[in-house]
Structure 1
Amino acid sequence: MILIKNVEVYSPTYLGRKDVLICGEKISLIEENIEFKNEKIKIIDGSLKKLVPGFIDQHVHITGGGGEGSFRTRVPEIMLSKLTKSGITTVIGLLGTDGTTRSVENLVAKAKALKEEGVSVYVHTGSYEYPTVTLTNSVRRDIVFIDEVIGCKIALSDHRSSTITNEELQRVASDVRSAGMISGKAGILVVHMGDGEKGLGPIIESLDNSEIPARTIRPTHVNRNEKLLLQSFDFAKRGGIIDLTCGIYDKLSPKRVIKLALENGVNPENITISSDGYGSWSNYDEYGNLVKIGVSSVEALYKEFKAMISNENMNIEDALKYVTSNVAKALDIYPKKGAICENSDGDVILLDENLDIDTVIAKGKVMVENKEVLVFGTYE
């Protein structure tokens, strides 16, 4: 058991200064004052600190992304401490461009490994390509029968995608939605958006010509260019959820885009942020030749959260929503995740006076304390 004393609690709504008791993997009690005298209870002094929900990063290439520049550019798998040091206690893994040398089997196995090591993990079946790569040869069966799988991924408006038709897009979205209903999961279709001229056009056309709810389809990387961004605002205003990627361009960084979105009448609950961690970023010349490649960091999520407060004067409650409660609600795991309340999972972060990550607790276990990693992955 862990008892955090005298700490300012953000759920992400500010709850005041409280004591918080975590038993097993759950938050058991939140009171003005909790007194226990037992040497088996770990007591953490929360004075001068803020307690916030663990971050949820819904777009991480946990088995490594990359590969666009031949085999040597394959990004390695992520290690546990890379997540926990960044305050990430729940992660959603997915494949990227490469669904050939990487597989859904590998993805699910990595998810199970990270779960054993101490964090919460979900995944999406599929990759950039169509027909969709799966584990059971069926998007529906992957979602319904594999515990970790909550949705599917494809790519649009990108030279690396399979250039699928609107009918094919509708078919995958329908499968995902039906599977989600059957299994009681989110049942979402994550769509990697590239720089192609069509932008969100195929998604809008597919929704206009079907009965698929807008919330089923989740375009990500929508802040990669201004035209795509404005299209995404319209999509969000019709009830869709858009995902902003950290570290694309400073001009279109989430911290700046959110302000613009709110000015355009977008409901803030329809906006989430993710890191695209351990995926590769790549630049191409006018002939489609790769000229530069690099790797994204999961730490970008925390840095963006802090920048929203320090650079854009956003309050803590609002900044937290984009990396905690909004994401949890979008994934149908709220308030199990994304909140600090009784019976929520014991996933919390203690921030110091400078909003630096001091302590990270995942599923009721201290992973980072006093800025030092206590629990490492098996091969770290």
Structure 2
Amino acid sequence: MTGHDEHRSLLTLLQVGCIQAPETLEASEILVADGRIAALGQNLDIPRSWPVRRVEARELIAVPAFIDQHVHVTGGGGEGGCGSRCPPITAGEITAMGIGTVVGVLGTDSISRTPADLLAAVRGLREAGIAAYMYTGAYRVPPPTLTGDIQRDLAWIPEVLGLGEIAISDHRSSQPRPDELARLVSEARIGAMLAGKRGICHFHLGDGRRGLAPLRRLLSDTEIPAEQIIPTHVNRNPTLLEQAADYALAHEAAIDVTAFDEPGEGLSAFAAVVRLLERGVPVERITLSSDCNGSLPEFDQQGNYSGMRVARNTALISDWQRLVHERVLPLESALELISGNVARVLGLHHCKGRLAVGFDADITLLDENLQPRQTFVAGRRLHGGE
């Protein structure tokens, strides 16, 4: 069947070895109709007259397509001048890792890159088939927006899921005061309520000595619920990770671990998850993201730029695989770190993060080594296969 015919078919039947939804199902077939899962079962009875595209992959495991909530889709960087800008990410680089949904962010540079640039990149990924979203804002406070107002961005622009990544405890941040942080989070909350969204505030954590103190104070001094606030890069150093464990336990809050390519003084995503579990942080409060196509800048003790690397999303999958291979977590629980938990944090849990009737047909097929071989988004195959 040609690619043109493949997209024209009304129904798709995936025949696989087993299905992890993330729990193991007594099923090996997934029927997809109009981009959603229509049925799950064994030997589904489908009339011969129906226009069905069959995908036979009986040696592969079907799982929910992965969700990456922190992607510099326009490229990050810029801390070392215009020559240090990172390249944008492509749809192929996303789906090759089994990822079906991404959330785009702006970082340090919101001067040469703007929320409008980010929205255009997100819509370009959507045209390529990716389920792409974005945060309004960037490192700096007050944050740049699309409409001039955080509430309007969330209320009127479907792709905007929240605010971020706002930088704290970092020499590159705007050093926002407690009242400024409270105002930003409240604006995002009201705009999200008007739009029926979760409206999270995604906070970049740097190496600063204050660590998570600004967010602990925010939750202690205001009525903002913890589900509104997501700290990321919490494994940047061991001290920060211990603070993150305390934060997650004290506030029953979610925390996001970054899969750094080369952790340096920080901890790998694998080591960070192991430590958080040892501290008693429940699996459902941990998510993983890649920070891919962002910069990994290096600074001396005076804060002067000394070099940079470009982050990739390969460590996200390899660290996740290691959690299963080394039996830190069973596959069912490990999948939550990069699918179900992330969908819940983002407010997409009604349609993404699991394989169930009525959910988006975002499906990744893994081999026995948990390597992504095929990726489907809304029932459309974007990676692998013939």
* Equivalent in 297, 307, 310 of residue 322 of structure 2: 307
Residue 210 of structure 2 aligns with which residue? 198
Given residue 241 of structure 1, which amino acid in structure 2 is its aligned partner? A
Matched, 1:75 2:86: yes
CA distance in 1, matches of 2:179, 2:327: 42
Deviations 1:227-247 (A, max 9, x none): 111111121111211000002
Please identify, of 287-296 and 166-175, the stretch whose mean Cα deviation from structure 2 is larger: 287-296
Matched, 1:360 2:371: no
CA distance in 1, matches of 2:368, 2:201: 39
Residue 329 of structure 1 aligns with which residue? 344
Q: How does 1:1-380 map to 2 (within 5 A)?
A: 1-36=11-46, 37=48, 40-153=51-164, 154-237=166-249, 238-247=251-260, 249=263, 252-370=267-385
Deviations 1:142-188 (A, max 9, x none): 11111101111110000000000011001101111111111111111
- Residue 110 of structure 1 aligns to a residue whose secondary structure is helix
1:190·1:218 contact (CA, 8 Å) conserved in 2? yes
1:256·1:312 contact (CA, 8 Å) conserved in 2? no
* Number of aligned residues: 371
CA distance in 1, matches of 2:367, 2:285: 29
Given residue 235 of structure 2, which amino acid in structure 1 is its aligned partner? N
CA distance in 1, matches of 2:57, 2:350: 23
CA distance in 2, matches of 1:265, 1:368: 37
Q: Structure 2: which 5+ runs fail to align?
A: 1-10
Residue 5 of structure 2 aligns with which residue? none
Deviations 1:242-288 (A, max 9, x none): 00000252872222222221222212111100000110101111121
Q: After the TM superposition, which segments of 4 or more aligned residues of structure 1 sit over 3 Å from their partners?
A: 35-40
1:255·1:312 contact (CA, 8 Å) conserved in 2? no
Q: CA RMSD, aligned part only?
A: 1.5
CA distance in 2, matches of 1:111, 1:127: 15
Q: CA deviation at 1:111?
A: 0.9
- Residue 354 of structure 1 aligns to a residue whose secondary structure is coil
CA distance in 1, matches of 2:370, 2:216: 40
CA distance in 1, matches of 2:102, 2:219: 28
The percentage of aligned residue pairs carrying the same residue is: 38
1:245·1:276 contact (CA, 8 Å) conserved in 2? yes
Please identify, of 251-260 and 221-230, the stretch whose mean Cα deviation from structure 2 is larger: 251-260
Residue 376 of structure 1 aligns with which residue? none
1:2·1:41 contact (CA, 8 Å) conserved in 2? yes
User: TM-score, normalized by length of structure 2?
Assistant: 0.93
User: TM-score, normalized by length of structure 1?
Assistant: 0.94
CA distance in 1, matches of 2:381, 2:215: 42
- Residue 232 of structure 1 aligns to a residue whose secondary structure is helix
1:97·1:127 contact (CA, 8 Å) conserved in 2? yes
CA distance in 2, matches of 1:38, 1:12: 32
Residue 3 of structure 2 aligns with which residue? none
1:224·1:252 contact (CA, 8 Å) conserved in 2? yes
CA distance in 2, matches of 1:111, 1:275: 17
Q: Structure 1: which 5+ runs fail to align?
A: 373-380
CA distance in 1, matches of 2:117, 2:232: 23
Q: CA deviation at 1:312?
A: 4.7
Cα distance change of structure 1 residues 354 and 262 upon mapping to structure 2, 3 Å threshold: closer
CA distance in 2, matches of 1:12, 1:32: 17
1:53·1:340 contact (CA, 8 Å) conserved in 2? yes
2:37·2:359 contact (CA, 8 Å) conserved in 1? yes
CA distance in 1, matches of 2:15, 2:239: 48
- Residue 7 of structure 1 aligns to a residue whose secondary structure is strand
Given residue 194 of structure 1, which amino acid in structure 2 is its aligned partner? G
CA distance in 2, matches of 1:280, 1:95: 11
Please identify, of 228-237 and 304-313, the stretch whose mean Cα deviation from structure 2 is larger: 304-313
CA distance in 2, matches of 1:259, 1:301: 15
Please identify, of 259-268 and 34-43, the stretch whose mean Cα deviation from structure 2 is larger: 34-43
Given residue 242 of structure 1, which amino acid in structure 2 is its aligned partner? I
Cα distance change of structure 1 residues 222 and 29 upon mapping to structure 2, 3 Å threshold: same
CA distance in 2, matches of 1:322, 1:275: 12
